[in-house]
Structure 1
Amino acid sequence: LGEPLARLLPLSFSGDKHNERHGEFCLYNEQRQELCLAYDSAPLLDSRGPRGWVIAFRDISAQRRANQAMRERDQFFTLSLEMFCLISLQGHFIQVNPAFVTVLGYPAERLINHSYLEWVYTQDQPMIEAAVRRLQEGQLLQDLQIRVCNNLGQIRWLQLSAALGDDLVIYCAARDVTQRKIDEQALQDTLRELERSNRELQEFAFVASHDLQEPLRKIQTFAERLDCQAQALSDEGRDYLRRMSQAAGRMQSLIRDLLAYSRVTTRGQPFVTVALDRILDEVLQDMETSLESSGAEIRRSPLPEVQGDPTQLRQLMQNLLSNAVKFRQKNQPPHVSIYAQRESPGEWTLCMEDNGIGFDEKYLDRIFNPFQRLHNRQAYPGTGIGLAIVKKIVERHGASIDAHSQPGRGTTFRIRFKT
C-alpha cells in the first residue's frame, strides 16, 4: 500500500484516463518467486472527470506454468520418434503425432475424430477393447502387442502402453515392433527346423544302428564258424578271416557308440540329485580289470552332488577315464587325478587330469566332434565318438566342458556344473 502504481504495472496510466485497460505482467515477490498477474482496470470518474482507477488483479501464475508445460508437451509430442496419441473415452482419436501418422500412413485429419478400432486388426479388437475397459477402471496398460493395418493394407505390430489422465483422456505411447516380430518368427522357424532335423538325425542314427546289428551278428557268427575250420584255410585265407573279424568288431563298437550317442537326448532319464562320489565308485569298479592291467594310479578328492541323469553321468566319467587309460605314454603307467573346485556358491568344476600323450590345443575344437581322431587307429583303437558323447551329455545337463593339454604333458578336462 502507498507505493506508486507505476512500480507494479508495465504500462503507464498517465495517458488516456477514460478507457478500460486489460493486461498481464510478471514480477518477483520477496522470496524471489515469479508471480504472474492479470489485471482489468476502469477509470474512476466523477463530475469533474477522471479521479483515478479501479483495478482488479488475478494470480495467473499456475495457469502460466500449465500453459508452458503444455507447450513443452506439444513440442515433445510432435518431435518424438515414438508414436503418441490421445484417445477419448468413446474411443476416438483426439490427437496423433507425426510418428503415428507415418506408421499408419494416413494423414492426421483422417484419423482425428475416428475410432481407433478402424485400424486395429479384426482378431485383436476384443483384446484392445478389454484393455481399454481396464484403463477406464484406473489400471495401467503396459507393453500390449497388437496388430494394425496401414494405408497399404499391410499388418504392422505395435507395442503400446497407456494410462487414463485426470482429464479423462487416454494417453497412449506406442512403438512399431514389426521387424522385431519378423525376426523372432524367423528365429522360431529356424529353431523348429533345427529341432526337427536333429530329431530326424537321432532317429535315423538309432534305427540305422539297430538295423545294422542283425546282419553284423550273422557276419560274426559265420566268421566264428570259419575260425573253427581255419586249419583248412591257406595262410592268406586265415589272414582274410582275421581282418574280417577285426572289421566286424570295429563295426560292432561303432554301432554301439552310435546308439549311445543318439540315446543321450532320446533316452535320457529325469534329473535327480546325484552324488558324483558314488558314480565314481561304480566306474572304478566297472573298470577294475583295465585299470589293474594298465597299472593306473587314481588319485581322488571328495566330489559334490549335482542334478543330473545318473546313467549318463556314469557314462561321462567312464568315457573320460577310459581315454586317460587308453591314451597313456609308452612305458609309463597312467596317473589320473579326479577332483572338484568350487567356482561360486552355485557352481562346481569337475576336473580329470592325466599324464598321457596329450594333444596340441589347436585341435581343441575337433576332439568333441564325432569320428574325429587325432591319432591313428592302429596305435589307439576306437570309434572316435567317446568325447562327442561326453559333450552331448554335458550339454544336456546345462554344463560346459573344455580341455587343457600339451603334447607329451597330459590333458585336463574341466566340466562346469551348476548345482
Structure 2
Amino acid sequence: MSWALNPESGGIYNEEYAITNRTTGQKYIIHAQARTFFDEQGKPVKMFGTAQDVTERRSAQLVLEQQVQKRTEELAKTNDELFEANQLLVRSNDNLEKFAYIASHDLQEPLRKIQSFGDLLKKQYGVGLGEGLPLLERMQSASKRMSVLIQDLLSFSKISNQKDRTESVSLNQVLDT
C-alpha cells in the first residue's frame, strides 16, 4: 500500500492478499483497490478504496482451472489415441489396397488360361462335346463374370491409390457458367 502513497505511482493500489482470522484461524483472500489523491506538493490527502472477500471466487476459479487442466490432458490423450488409430487405419488401408491389386493381378492369368482353353475346346471339339457343350458355355460365362469382378477389384485398387484432386472454386463462377 505504501506504493500507492507515492505520487509517482499515480496513486493506484490494486492487490490481492491472504489474511487469517486470529480467533477462528479461517483464511480469506482479499482483493483491495484504492486510489490516493495528492495535493499540489505531492502529499497524499485522501484515499478511497474497497476491500472485498474473494475467497469463494478464487476457490471456484482454482477448481475450474483444475478441471480445465484435467480435461485438456484427457483431450490430449484422446487425440493421441485417435492419431494412433488413424495411423493404423492408414496402414491397414494401404495393405488392403496392395492386396486387392496383387490378388486381382494374380487371378487374371489363371482366368485367362481357363477362358482360352474353353474357347479352344469349343472351337476344336464343340460339336463332339454333345451334352458337355452347355457345361462348357456355363464355365465360359462364369469365367467372364469372374473377369469382370477382377477388373472391378483392380479398378478399386487404382482408384484408392489416386490422390485427392480437389480444388477450391468460386460458386458464383460455377453458377454464372
Q: TM-score, normalised by structure 1?
A: 0.28
CA drift of 1:75 comes to 4.6
Query: Residue 262 of structure 1 aligns to a residue in which SS?
Result: helix
Structure 1 equivalent of residue 47 of structure 2: 60
How high is the sequence identity, in percent, across the aligned residues?
A: 30
Query: Residue 175 of structure 1 aligns to a residue in which SS?
Result: helix
Matched, 1:250 2:161: no
Distance in structure 2 (CA, Å) of the matches to 1:178 and 1:59: 50
Aligned pairs for 1:223-302 within 5 A: 223-228=118-123, 229-234=125-130, 236-266=131-161, 268=162, 271=165
CA drift of 1:242 comes to 0.3
CA drift of 1:190 comes to 1.6
Distance in structure 2 (CA, Å) of the matches to 1:178 and 1:208: 44
Matched, 1:201 2:102: no
Query: Letter of the aligned partner of 1:60 in structure 2?
Result: M
Distance in structure 2 (CA, Å) of the matches to 1:210 and 1:263: 12
Query: Residue 271 of structure 1 aligns to a residue in which SS?
Result: coil
Matched, 1:78 2:65: no
Structure 2 equivalent of residue 210 of structure 1: 105
Higher helix share: 2
Structure 1 equivalent of residue 74 of structure 2: 179
Structure 1 equivalent of residue 23 of structure 2: none
1:315-349 CA deviation, whole Å, 9 max, x = no partner?
Answer: xxxxxxxxxxxxxxxxxxxxxxxxxxxxx54888x
Identify if the C-alpha distance between structure 1 residues 269 and 191 changes in structure 2 by more than 3 Å, giving closer, same or farther.
closer
Query: Letter of the aligned partner of 1:79 in structure 2?
Result: A
Distance in structure 1 (CA, Å) of the matches to 2:101 and 2:137: 29
Distance in structure 2 (CA, Å) of the matches to 1:214 and 1:347: 46
Q: Which runs of 5+ in 2 are unaligned?
A: 1-34, 37-43
CA drift of 1:77 comes to 2.4
Query: Letter of the aligned partner of 1:249 in structure 2?
Result: K
Q: Which runs of 5+ in 1 are unaligned?
A: 1-35, 38-56, 84-98, 104-173, 274-305, 308-343, 349-419
Identify if the C-alpha distance between structure 1 residues 346 and 187 changes in structure 2 by more than 3 Å, giving closer, same or farther.
farther
Structure 1 equivalent of residue 13 of structure 2: none
Higher strand share: 1
CA drift of 1:259 comes to 0.5
Structure ranking higher on relative contact order (CA contacts 8 Å, 6+ apart): 2
Question: In the alignment, which of 190, 204, 227 is matched to residue 85 of structure 2?
Answer: 190
Distance in structure 2 (CA, Å) of the matches to 1:190 and 1:223: 48
